Amino acid sequence: MRISLRLRAALCALFLLFLCVSAAFPADVRGEALAAGGSKEAVMEVSTGRVMHEVRSRERAYPASTTKILTALVVLETLPLELEVTVPREAAGVEGSSVYLREGETLTVEELLYALMLRSGNDAAVALALAAGGSIPAFAAMMNRRAAACGATDSRFLNPHGLHDDGHYTTAYDLALITAEAYRNRDFRRIVSTRSVTVGEGESRRYLANKNKLLGTFEGANGVKTGFTTKSGRCLVGGAYRDGMQLVSVVLDRYDMWEGTKAALEKAFRDYEMRDVLSLPLAGAGERAAEVRLDERGDPVPARYPVKKRGEDIGVRFVK
């Protein structure tokens, strides 16, 4: 009887401790932490590559269909938009998300890019990869070379669509670098910011509505791509432009990816502003600095830098 009373007292004490710890964190904070789970995240300003938010951004993760950002970039740099592509047998009936391409039908590279980025067509990914690389392994090699050129050194891509493969991975930071590079391509920006489009003619005519719910619901949203497999979890790369600042946000394996992305982007826009680097003081040794170089005309590159509005002293350092 005495042991039972002691056990009950201990359990009551543990319960009260739990209530006290739980009450110390507001419900919305507890909910956000639960939703975020083991997510990997990064928010980056495109022109400078400055990271404004990151959570486990260098941990490897499966990118699912956000892979198609790199696929689109490689295709845009390899094939003309007006080139007509005849859908090969290998592209018809690819598993997962699809625009139901039929073997032998013909669409342009641009139309297939819309199918790739708006509707996440795995069949479109294969058709484009074969047109650009001749084979999936050859195109994957092109992807990996382009990723490395972006500075994405902890990524490995084995296919153009992101269907699961244990050897196909990236990080939130690497994917932000890749997306920032893609945003420098005008056609990429135009395609991923399109809300809906009709492509093809006759039996190949298709109406494509963008799956990206940021468009039209978040101020300044202008891209980019969703993704999901059972191994990757819910993934979202979002882009938004406000007041001269283009941001990309990467969220990998987060249940509330829409809410998490909006919150991270909103905070970055609230906390940072773009400033002319020539208006910044010269940084002293060891001080935080915006590193810029001067081009052949003597103009700074980058010309503007995202500076935190409150509490951050930052100068400029010119590098060769």
From CA 157, how far away is CA 63, in angstroms rounded?
Answer: 10
Q: How many CA atoms lie within 13 A of 162 on its CB side?
A: 34
Q: Cβ–Cβ contacts within 10 Å for residue 152, how many?
A: 22
* Catalytic status, residue 120: yes
The catalytically annotated residue of 47, 97, 98, 120 is 120
Peptide bond into 224 cis (omega under 30): yes
* Catalytic status, residue 65: yes
From CA 83, how far away is CA 188, in angstroms rounded?
Answer: 16
Report DSSP letters for 100-124, one per residue: ---TT-EEEHHHHHHHHHHS--HHH
Torsion on CA atoms 250, 253, 255, 256, rounded to nearest 10: -10
Q: Which residues contact 14 (CB under 8 A, 6 or more apart)?
A: none
The phi and psi torsions of 47 (rounded to 5 degrees) equal -70, -25
The catalytically annotated residue of 47, 57, 65, 232 is 65
The catalytically annotated residue of 68, 97, 155, 249 is 68
Instruction: Judge contact between 30 and 192, C-beta under 8 A.
Output: no
* Catalytic status, residue 204: no
Q: How many CA atoms lie within 13 A of 30 on its CB side?
A: 8
| Active site (catalytic) residues | 65, 68, 120
